[in-house]
Chains A and B, each alone.
Chain A
Amino acid sequence: MKDMSIDTIAASRAATVTALSPVARFSLRGRGDAVAALSAALGVELLARVGARAQAGARDVLCLGPDEWMIHAPEGDAAAIINACAGVAAPHALVEVSDRELSYAITGPQAAELLTLGCPRDPDSIAVGEGRRTVFDGATVILWRDGRDAFRMDVWRSFAPHVTHLLATGCRELALG
């Protein structure tokens, strides 16, 4: 998930918000026997704890709910993911949602504080290397914490202007001290 930035939304000495290039996204659902079978087929362990993440190569898989995972992968990997899951007989559901969300990188010394403008949850309750679905200024978002000062935010496409507007406001405001 590196070097995908295409467009800087806002930048200050506090934080930088960057629009990220498209990725392949899948909502993967399943339970029971399917979990191990899907893990084997994808080559990534589907972790059971909400918020936990596992990676294999460029596939990054976040547990969003007890039977729900979000897969991010390079676009060229999409067909392989579909094929891998198609071979699993145990009940499951794979739905491509690549275009449902847009992703933004939120980085900088006050990246976590920037999130507090709209996020009622304590950003520090998301450990580095984990992620969560949560809410930011009324919009459901998925936060991936890639480092102490580095988050990614997935937001449904039509909510993105609203969310990035506040993030940009916050970048300016935090820089004022």
Chain B
Amino acid sequence: MLLIHCPCCDETLPEMEFAYAGEAHVARPADPSAVSDAEWEAFLFIRTNVKGPHFERWRHIHGCGRFFNAVRDTVSDRFLTTYPAGAPRPDLTTLMGDDA
């Protein structure tokens, strides 16, 4: 069971208060009718599936209810950081330090 820092509550809490919500920074196109089939396919289905630092979303569903973003290393399962939804991607080289 992971420990997750909720950026809204500013508390580090057991995973059981949270729900996973897929990859982060997959923005819904502002005007979906203007995008091509390929772009829409990419938005719906294409995910990075990285080995290493993964940008992903969680919801503090049994807490403040907020969706937020996280960077988790899929090799170690470590959270490198969490940050509010809508904030830009954090810089990986800073987060990973020497391992980047």
Contacts and interface: CB of A to CB of B under 8 A. Distances in A.
B6 to A, nearest CB: 8
Interface string B59-100: 001111110000000000000000000000000000000000
B13 A121 contact: yes
Interface in A129-161: 132-135, 140
B62 A50 contact: no
A121 B70 CA distance: 20
B17 A125 contact: no
Contact of B62 (A51, A68, A125, A133): A133
Interface in B1-49: 1, 8-11, 13-14, 16-17
Interface string A6-49: 00000000000000000000000000000000000000000000
A125 B17 CA distance: 14
Contacts of A68: 64-65
Contact of B16 (A50, A51, A120, A132): A120
Nearest to B61: A140
Interface residues of A, number: 14
Interface residues of B, number: 15
B1 to A, nearest CB: 7
A133 B1 contact: no
Central interface residue in B8, B11, B61, B65, by most chain A CB within 10 Å: B65
Given A50-B8, A51-B9, A121-B13, A132 B1 contact: no
A115 interface: no
Interface of A: 50-51, 64-66, 68, 120-121, 125, 132-135, 140
21 contacts: A50-B8, A50-B9, A50-B10, A50-B64, A51-B9, A65-B64, A65-B65, A65-B66, A66-B64, A66-B66, A120-B1, A120-B16, A120-B17, A121-B13, A121-B17, A133-B63, A133-B64, A133-B65, A134-B17, A134-B62, A134-B63
Given A50-B8, A66-B8, A120-B14, 10 more contacts: A50-B63, A65-B63, A66-B64, A68-B65, A120-B17, A121-B13, A121-B17, A132-B63, A134-B63, A135-B16
